[in-house]
Amino acid sequence: MRSEETDRSRHRLKAERWRHPKHAEVIGMSNLKIRVFTEDNADPDTTVTIPGLVLKFATRLIPGQAKTALLESGIDLDELARLAIDPAITGTLIEIEDHRKNEKIVISLE
């Protein structure tokens, strides 16, 4: 009998934990999508999707040189991770057009 009460208490605590505001922000995170288009194609040549839950940690895994290159292009991954927390922020965030390469990169939260 005591074991059943303990199990119920544990389940109740787990359920309450997911209602906590700190966890709510993780549950509602948007995915980061990076699409690369070339030569005026309507469909992307490449699509990279980083789940919102992973995005917060993925920014720490990117090599410093790559992060610097992104910052030089005006892309702050830490700021994108912060934006992904807000479920009200969705859609295209950045469009980068490289006319020499006939390439367009679209970064969005979905």
pLDDT confidence tier of residue 24, bands split at 50, 70 and 90: very low
Q: Tokens representing 39? A: 């030569």
CA distance linking residue 84 with residue 29, whole number of Å: 5
The confidence score (pLDDT) of residue 5 equals 58
What confidence tens digit (pLDDT) does each residue in 45-96 have? 989 888 888 887 877 777 777 777 778 778 888 888 888 888 888 999 888 8
CA distance linking residue 61 with residue 88, whole number of Å: 26
The confidence score (pLDDT) of residue 65 equals 74
Residues of the chain with pLDDT > 70, as a percent, come to 75
Q: Which secondary structure element, helix H or strand E, spans residue 33, and what is its range?
A: strand 32-38
What's the mean pLDDT when you consider all of the chain? 76
Largest CA distance in the chain: 73
